[in-house]
Amino acid sequence: MTLANAQDKAGEVFTLPELPFAKNALEPHMSAETFDYHHGKHHNAYVVKANELIQGTGLEDLPLEEIVRQAKAKGLGPLFNNVGQHFNHSFFWQCMKPQGGGEPTGALLDKINASFGSFDKFKEEFVNGGIGQFGSGWVWLVENGDKLEIVKTANAETPLTEGKKPLLVCDVWEHAYYIDFQNRRPDFLKSFLDNLVNWDFVAGNL
């Protein structure tokens, strides 16, 4: 998946993407109130700050993924934090859909079974990865060569900078789930897999 930069407004490299569903479309698993804060405030703040920090870097015309890689490689920490969060969140919204979850099919399921032993084993490793990410961060399903792996990243870090291809991500920052699940991160992760994952998007990233 390549996330292009929309430059609709003068001087803005990045724009806040529209959600691919209505804010209440994922209820009761993820509430409209969560999206008011998570998409409307948290993600938007990263977009605003990224637009400020990228000016004069020479990276303005690159695709978002390449800006993330270059910001990391060049040691542009504040810019990386904000463009990394912009990429991660933009990717996260696409990973969900109404009436999602369940079990994938076809080549994706075959690859999951080959990499993890079974779909149930993948679910167990994904949930444990999200639980095991101390503090704020993300849990990913990535393609690494001919195998799939579970990867944890902290804060704004992303598998893009490790040469691994993101297929699926779940946000485990507390603002992603606290309104709906309070401190029950394991329940949130299980609900994400059972009710929200857009497996068509994940398969399209293979």
The domain of 53 spans 32-94
pLDDT by residue (tens digit) across 148-190?
999 999 999 999 999 999 999 999 989 889 988 999 999 999 9
CATH of the domain at 149: 3.55.40.20
Query: What is the distance between the alpha carbons of residues 84 and 67, in angstroms, rounded to a whole number?
Result: 9
| Average pLDDT in the chain | 93
Q: Do 201 and 110 sit in the same domain of this protein?
A: yes
Please tell me the distance from the alpha carbon of residue 138 to that of residue 157, in angstroms, as a whole number: 8
Mean pLDDT of 126-131: 96
Give pLDDT tens digits for 4-50. 444 444 568 999 999 999 999 999 999 999 999 999 999 999 999 99
178 and 117 fall within a common domain: yes
pLDDT value of position 12: 86
How far is residue 188 CA from its own chain's centroid?
15
Claim to verify: residue 51 and residue 124 sit in the same structural domain: no
Same domain, 199 and 129: yes
Say which residue, 11 or 204, is predicted with more confidence: 204
